[in-house]
Copies of this chain bind each other. A is one copy, B any other.
Amino acid sequence: MTEAHSVKRQARGRQRIADILDAALALFAQNGYEGTSTNAIAARAGISPGSLYQFFPNKEAIAEALSARLLEQMRAAHSSAFDLAQVTDLTLHELIDRMVDPLIAFNLANPGAKALMANTDLPARLQGAARPLQQAVVDRVAAIIGARSPRLPAAERNLAAMVAVRIVVAMMPPIVTAQGAERNALIAELKKALHGYVLPIEAH
């Protein structure tokens, strides 16, 4: 009985948190972090301002949790696409497809994500919170590059991963904004840029 209670309660709690993060994601995407009030988040989440603070101690914590959630979702989206072992069997074109496509799909599904990925929005104090999101992707890309080019020094590998991710992130806003053929053209261009950058690196 008590257990049933607590199970239901926890489920409701998780749902509340999800609602809050959904609301925050939408509002951050629209108005930025500073432009979004906690009361607005609460209202969009369908709860009272007081309730919001039962789940998050302050506004920053919402941004942090949102970052973490996006990170997790992105990791999931990514790792399901292919595993490190097979990475050496792919052509560079195939590799880029498998890496970029899920990222684009993720950003299309989470239009607010860019607000946190391109972390220029948040106050300096908070940018650390969004860092892991990008960094996680960078690490994964570095691992893939390492698997394919084992002789590449670690420093160069990490640098290349960072640059590649920055290129992807930089192209994300127009890709998300565009529609249909235009979007496809942008995606093709992004892939060309990655190919042109990575090909010489893989060739030593």
Residue A105 CB within 8 A of the other chain:
no
Verify if A150 is at the interface (C-beta below 8 Å from B).
no
Q: Which of A4-12, A66-74, A160-168 lies on the face that meets chain B?
A: A160-168
A interface residues, how many (CB within 8 angstroms): 37
Question: A145 in the interface, Cβ–Cβ < 8 Å?
Answer: no
The distance from the CB of A161 to the nearest CB of chain B, in whole angstroms, is: 11
Residue A185 CB within 8 A of the other chain: yes
Say whether B34 contacts A35, CB under 8 Å.
yes
Q: Are B197 and A124 in contact (CB under 8 A)?
A: no
CB pair B159 A166 closer than 8 Å: no
Identical subunits present: 4
A123 neighbours in B (Cβ, 8 Å): 31-32, 34-35
Q: Is A86 an interface residue (CB 8 A)?
A: no
A-B contact pairs, 20 of them (CB 8 A): A30-B124, A31-B123, A31-B124, A34-B34, A34-B123, A115-B120, A159-B185, A159-B189, A162-B174, A163-B190, A163-B193, A166-B170, A166-B171, A167-B193, A192-B200, A193-B193, A195-B196, A196-B196, A196-B200, A197-B197
Given known contacts A119-B120, A160-B189, A163-B189, what 16 new A-B pairs fall within 8 Å (CB)?
Answer: A31-B123, A31-B124, A32-B122, A34-B35, A34-B123, A114-B120, A115-B120, A120-B120, A162-B174, A163-B171, A163-B193, A166-B167, A167-B167, A169-B170, A193-B193, A195-B196
